Amino acid sequence: MARVSKSTSKSKTKSATNERRNKILVSVALCIAVFGVGLMLLRAFGLLRPFSVPSAAMEPTLVSGDYVMMEGVTYLFCKPRRGDLVVFKTDGIASLPPGNVLSQRVAGSPGETLRLVNGKLLVNEQPVSLQSSTGAIQYVYLPSSYAKYLLTSNDTVTVPTNSIFVLGDNSAASSDSRVWGFVPGTNVLGRVWFRYSPPERVGMVR
């Protein structure tokens, strides 16, 4: 009976191990390549874009100087929902200079009637709790010399068709829909997805 030498057996084992390792490396390389191509395509079509946070309106969730990534794929399949941190362009919005990009939280959708009472948001007279990164958001009334909507507990506003009403998490320091009105649906670019700078604040954003 023929006997297989130990050296031959070890050689076959080593060869099989190398083959498996090479297959794994090729698979990883292909995944990285596909992922990279996907990112480039998303960037090319404006569905993935970076931007910097310009103000304190969304503190503590977003602070001035944060760098975040927006993704626009979600809104190809559904409309913005209450609580979403949307990114929108300012073109055509009264009192806002065109050509800028802002991010604030959706408070109201088309047809909904909003009111602020005791720091809480009411939607169609039902209390709704919107959450920032540190908990439930408490809203304040802005002065009538500055804002034009939701100035007192008696004020209501109904969101028109194809628009949304947005509010900043930092209610007392936020210039939002209370000041300049509704955001047309066509202005919405996507939603904030990921913060990539500064290093100590890197992570998903909600």
CB contact set of 116 (below 8 Å; sequence gap of 6+): 122, 139, 141, 150, 153, 155
- Within this chain, do residues 110 and 167 fall inside the same structural domain, yes or no? yes
Residues 58, 80: Cα–Cα separation, whole Å: 18
Structure tokens given for 66: 């944060």
- Within this chain, do residues 33 and 75 fall inside the same structural domain, yes or no? no
- For 190-202, b/e burial (b = at least 16 CB within 10 A) is bbbbebeeeeebe
Q: What is the mean pLDDT of the chain?
A: 86
Residues 93, 98: Cα–Cα separation, whole Å: 8
- Within this chain, do residues 66 and 100 fall inside the same structural domain, yes or no? yes
The continuous run of DSSP H or E covering 28 comes out as: helix 6-44
CATH number of the domain residue 81 falls in: 2.10.109.10
- Within this chain, do residues 80 and 155 fall inside the same structural domain, yes or no? yes
- Within this chain, do residues 37 and 122 fall inside the same structural domain, yes or no? no
Q: Which residues pair with 163 in a beta bridge?
A: 184
- Within this chain, do residues 63 and 89 fall inside the same structural domain, yes or no? yes
Place of tokens 């991010």: 103
Residues 190, 193: Cα–Cα separation, whole Å: 9
Backbone Cα Rg of the chain: 25
**Which residue range is the domain that position 106 belongs to?**
48-204
Per-residue pLDDT of the chain (206 residues; tens, 9 = 90+): 555 555 566 566 666 666 777 666 555 554 454 444 444 444 444 568 898 998 999 999 999 999 999 998 999 999 999 999 999 999 999 889 999 999 999 999 999 999 999 999 999 999 999 999 999 999 999 999 999 999 999 999 999 999 999 999 999 999 999 999 999 999 999 999 999 999 999 999 98
- Within this chain, do residues 66 and 154 fall inside the same structural domain, yes or no? yes
**Number of domains, the chain:** 2
E strand map for 16-158: 48-52, 67-71, 85-89, 101-108, 113-117, 120-123, 126-128, 131-132, 135-136, 157-158
